[in-house]
Every structure is written in C-alpha cells, then in structure tokens.
A and B are shown apart, each in its own frame.
Chain A
Amino acid sequence: MNGAGKTAWYLLLAVAALTLPTVPFLQPYLTQFAFLWVMILLALTWDIMGGQMGYNSFGNIVYFGVGMYTTAVVQRDLFFSVEEYAEVAGGVDAALNPLEFISSLALGMGLGAVLSVLIAAILGSGILGLRGHYFAICTLGLGIAAGEIASGMDYIGAGSGLVTSLLPDAFGERGRFFYYLFLVLAVITFLVLRRVYDSRFGLAINAIRDDEDKAEALGLHTTRYKTTAWCISAFFLALTGGAFGNMVIFIDPTDVAFAGPTFGVWMVLMAILGGKGTLWGPVIGATIFHVMQEVFWTFLFGWQRVALGLLIVIVVVFFPEGVVGWLRERWPHRFGEVVDEDARRLQVSLDSEP
C-alpha cells in the first residue's frame, strides 16, 4: 500500500471508530464495543512478548489484575476507610463526584501501571532466563498464584471480590464513556507499539525470537531487551485492567482480575488468530474473535463454547500463521518481500569472479 492509500485507510478507520457511538441502532451495544477495544488491548500487549519476542507468556493476566485492583483500591482508599466502604456495600452507595472519580481513576491507573512495571522487572529478571516451554509453564503458574493470593487478601475483598466506584452520572452513559476511554487507550498503545517496533528495540526482540543464541553471539543485551519488553507489556495491560475494573463494576479475584482461563487464554488466541508478530494481527484477531464469540453466544447458545473451540481448531490447522501471516505467505511482495531486479542485473555475480 502506498503512503496516500495508507493515510486514507487510517483516516477512514479513525472516523468510523469516532462516530460509531452516534449510530442509533448500535446504542444498546456500546459496552460490547468498549469490550472490543479491551480485547484489542489484551491481544496487542500479549503480542509484544508472544509474537514479537517469541516468549509465550501465560502470566500477562497478572498485570491486568494488578492494575485493576490497584485502581479500585486507590479509588476506595482516597475517600473512604475500608470498613466504611464495606458497610455501604461498596460503590453502590459510595458515590464519587465527577472530579473525584476521574482524578482517582487516573491516579489509580498510573499507580497500577508503575506497580506492574516493577513486578515485571523483578519477575522478568528472574524467569526470562527460561526459554520456550519452560517460560510458558512458569508464567502459567504466576497467573494462578496471583489469583490465589488475591482470593486470600481481606484488604481487597478476598474471595468475595471488590466493588469498584460507580461512574458519576455527569459522564453520561457508561457504555459511551468507556468506549471512548478504551478507544483512546488502544490507539495510544497501538501508536506507541508501532514506533517501538520500528526502532532498534523492535529488531532486537525479533532477533531474540528468531535465534536468541545468535543474538547473544552478536553481543546484544538480550536480558535488558527482554525485561523491557515485558515492562512495556505490563504497563499498557495494567492501564487496561485499571479502567476495566470500573467498567465491569465488580472485581472477582479469579473470574475477572486474574482470569487466566478466559482473558489469559483469549489474549493468546486472538494474537495467533490475527497473526502473531505483526502490528495489525492482534487487532484483526481480537476483532474476529470478539465478534464470533458474541455471534455464537447469541445464535448457538448452549453450544457457544463448542463453536468457539471449533473455530480455534480450524484456525490452527488451516491458518497457523494467522490472518496476516497467511496474507503475507500468499502475497509476499505486498509486504515488501521483493527481489530488486535492477540491482540483480547490475550485480557482478560472485561466481564469475576469480
């Protein structure tokens, strides 16, 4: 695609995304569309590790949950004592005014992100030395452990969960508010990742994916790159989690915050479905996955999980490289994989030299 075509395409997408909440017949589904942006964020942040760097992390859900709990706790503790909050049944009666809400939300998301980055740096320096399946299994344990720990902490509601602050009426409809919030977050994440993948960092983590031994043999600071990659992933995932807690209102330690079997697995599936290791793959994968899931839920109720499973099997068997990967295999020249014929004609062949 040429430059102008690309710009037109981006503009079209931007207009569509911005005007979608004004379309009358889509009004009842705004929360669903907000959810779509969340799914895109989950896939994008997972792909930094699993796609671009080749480290299949099943523990990214930890940062999602940490961000969520941190935000909720900040929103609670800034204005209430724990006992008082529990007494009024959490967010239901403990309403915040708009300024309180938005400032505590921002502060909570920020703190959650910082905390997650710290955790990623510490965990990363410990377990990013593991490769392949060992890393995947180790991170799987992290997600489960985090859920268990959260279930045991009274301060954050333990197993009975935590009710988050309610959106003040001044912000209008919940669905629309969170639609725009996650839209902005997804766009920022996408643009940051696009810039990051275009730099030395992007090539370095791709090199680690393709052959880590070779990368080390060339003198790359592999540990530094790997840890930073996880920190970037954790940062955006924690922001997503923080806002997500407010959207769903209730945080359950294992079903919402550290939901390994759902969000934790979906983020992997969506990235693979769209084409891992590509910029657009996770976006496309998340969109297909989310739409299919909702369609199955609506029309194949009772069989929705079976249908979803079947979809995954079909993708893995017929499109192992995902949608974008499949397109790239079919039309490599469209992705810039071309032989420079002019240069080839001019080139003095190696064979012909003495």
Chain B
Amino acid sequence: MSTVLEVEKVSKAFGGVVANREVSLSVPEGAIIGLIGPNGSGKTTLFNSIVGYHPIDAGSIRFRGEELSRLRTPQIARRGLLRTFQQTRIFGKMNCIENMQISVPHADDSLGTMFSRFDESVTGRAEQLLKFVGLYPKRYLRAGDLSFGQQKLLEFAMALMNKPKLLLLDEPTAGINPTLINGLIDRLKRANAEFGITLFVIEHNMRVIMNLAEHIYCLAHGELLAEGDPDQVQNDQRVIGAYLGAG
C-alpha cells in the first residue's frame, strides 16, 4: 500500500502554547486511520495544519508526494484532501440538495463553468448520497432547520459528494445518538470500501474508533504518544495514563 499522506515532524505553536511538537505520522492509501488523545492534545490543530487552515512552524506535510504546507485551504481541497469540522458546518439557509450540489469537486472549475447550471447527473448523485445517509425525504428543507445529528450526516454526505481521495473527519459521531452511531460507522466503512476513500478520523468514542480504525495514533500534550493497532493502543499504559490524567 502506498502512502497517501505523510506528516513529518510538524510543529505548530500559538504564542507560547505549543499545540503540536514534531508530530510525524503517515496514512496509507485505502486505510482507515484513527487519531485519539485527551482534550487539548492538538488533534484538531494537526488537522487544521494538514488542510492549510493555518501555516505550520516547521516540518513537512506531503499529500500523494506533493508538499502541502505552502498551499491554501481551497487549493488543497481541490487536490482531493477534504476535512469535516468538529463544530458541524453546513450552509444553513440553503436546502440539502443545494448543499450537495455546491459540494461537487471544484478542480475543473473555470470562468466558463461559473454560470452553468448543474446537470442532471450531479443532482442524481446528490440524491443518491442523501439516500445513503438517510436524508433524502428532507432534501428540500433548509439545512439549518435539520437537527444537529442530521447536519452531521449532511456534512458527511457533502464530503462524499466532493469525491475526495483522503477525508479527514473531526469527531464524526460527537452529538449523535447511540443508535445512529452504528449506522454511521457502517456508512464510514462503506464509503471506505465502496468509494475507495481513505479516512483519517479523530474520535473520542473509544468503542467507535476501536471498531473502525485499523491503525491508531495517540496524541498527548501536542506530541505523538503511541501508535499501533487498536488492541495495542488500548492496552498501552501511556495511553491509559494520558486519558486518566496520570501522564
């Protein structure tokens, strides 16, 4: 398996607070990789660094062999590296179909396509993906009127609409009720298997991440603490210590 994302000794500080210190990790193509760590351990900061939301202080981030650290967020997104947000972000005053339509890949946009309408195939795919996450009956409702859990599902469907090669998910199950979580895990696995999307997932719910990921990285205090398959990480004393506050 080739490596799709290579993070090498990335550091990022906000003033005196070091959020990431020389973090290195890699995501192989087609895998589902987990990222865990206590609150404030720098997981979201690392995601933000990867997608170009802010510049990094040191290190290198390569996506399919290309250096990302000097590119801006939209440029990175157009290369097929997408993220969803911890605080769910959808376009609240647009309906679900419109949310999906505008999420198409934008790599081939030009001045000529700017005023074109979306063709049937785009709308068809949007409806299919809305069915995939169970929002099809509500497709004409404004996204802002959906419940929080539904908005999360919509954001996930929007990400799939964008046909990314690598999708970074920031706590996909936070705020979703336990029965829906099972459905979501199933959807994530199917997105990975059927659409061939590599997933890199931040998750606090241990049951979810152990069930989902084949390889897990653990951050604490901005540094990489441990890595391994779910069993190894679960039984790692340093990880247990970090979560219980002993570390």
Contact = CB atoms under 8 A, between A and B. Distances in A.
B73 A211 contact: no
Contacts of B83: 217
Contacts of A339: 137-138, 140-141
Given A210-B94, A337-B95, A218 B103 contact: yes
A206 interface: yes
A216 interface: yes
A341 interface: yes
A336 B138 CA distance: 11
Q: Which of A207, A209, A219 has the most CB of B within 10 A?
A: A219
Contacts of B148: none
Given A218-B106, A219-B162, A340-B137, A203 B94 contact: yes
Interface string A198-235: 11110110110111011111111110110010000000
Given A203-B102, A207-B94, A211-B91, 12 more contacts: A200-B115, A206-B102, A211-B90, A211-B92, A215-B102, A217-B77, A219-B105, A337-B140, A337-B141, A339-B140, A343-B137, A351-B183
Q: 10 closest Cβ contacts across the A-B interface?
A: A219-B77, A350-B183, A344-B137, A210-B91, A219-B106, A214-B89, A350-B134, A219-B78, A343-B137, A203-B102
Contacts of A210: 90-94
Nearest to B109: A221
Interface of A: 195-196, 198-201, 203-204, 206-207, 209-211, 213-222, 224-225, 228, 277, 332, 336-341, 343-344, 347, 349-351, 353-354
B2 interface: no
B138 A353 contact: no
B182 A353 contact: yes
Contacts of B136: 340, 343, 347
A326 to B, nearest CB: 15
Nearest to A208: B91
Interface in B58-113: 72-75, 77-78, 82-83, 85, 89-95, 98, 101-103, 105-107, 109, 111, 113
Nearest to A341: B137
Contacts of A343: 136-137
Nearest to B127: A343
A354 B141 CA distance: 27
A217 B73 contact: yes
B210 interface: no
State the main secondary structure of chain A at its contact with B.
Answer: helix
B231 interface: no
B186 interface: yes
B193 interface: no
Nearest to B138: A339
Contacts of A209: 93
Contacts of A211: 89-92
A217 B158 CA distance: 11
Contact of B102 (A207, A213, A347, A350): A207
Given A201-B115, A219-B105, A351 B179 contact: yes
A338 B78 CA distance: 33
A11 to B, nearest CB: 25
B117 A347 contact: no
A61 B137 CA distance: 44
Contacts of A198: 117
Contacts of B182: 353-354
Contacts of B109: 221
Contact of A201 (B85, B114, B145, B158): B114
Interface in B140-165: 140-142, 145, 153, 158, 162
